[in-house]
Amino acid sequence: MSSPRFAGCLSAPALRWLSLTISILYTTVAALRLLTWSLSQPALVLVYYLATLALCGLGLRGILRSKVLLVRMFALLVCFDTILSFGTYIVLAALAFAPRTTSLACSVITQSNAAKFSVEVCLANYRKFAIALIAVFTVMIAFNLYFACVIWTFYRQLRDGQAGASNDSHMEYTAVAKEEESEKV
């Protein structure tokens, strides 16, 4: 018996198209991250961006050619990226409402030449800005989670539906042996 799927309401071609679109989006974002990398950032960030771009490219190829291993690597990358993003957003949300962060941000903003308002005005509006930023982060995490679920569902469907491959996950086990149609009277 097949287990329920997250994107079970989508047909296989629609799920493939959506997975392809998501992989193109991830590949584009990875390429843009790589282009915006500067020497002031740690080298580990460059390695992460290069690995992400390579895995996104392999995932795109895997989706186009129905390669289970490549799609699995891409699905794991998307899941890892979602978890990493979620953790980062939680830390940023906690820091956004810390009293020291609030006062430091407002003092930096008001000391710049572009600011035309006082610290009191900044402090009054900072909380609104932080809440709006948290709302944007929440929407971004929701999209990341949806993308991860779609890619994982596509991977599972690709893995379970390979033609010519033996797959024990579709075998049905019962406590009583089933009778053949010819044996029934």
Contact between 60 and 24 under an 8 Å Cβ cutoff? The reply is yes
Q: What is the pLDDT of residues 126-160, one digit of tens each?
A: 888 889 989 999 999 999 999 999 999 999 999 98
Which residue has better confidence, 8 or 130?
A: 130
Q: Are 72 and 155 in contact (CB under 8 A)?
A: yes
DSSP letter, residue 163: T
| Residues 76-112 pLDDT 10s | 999 999 999 999 999 988 888 888 888 888 888 888 7
Q: Are 5 and 52 in contact (CB under 8 A)?
A: no
12/155 Cα distance (integer angstroms) = 11
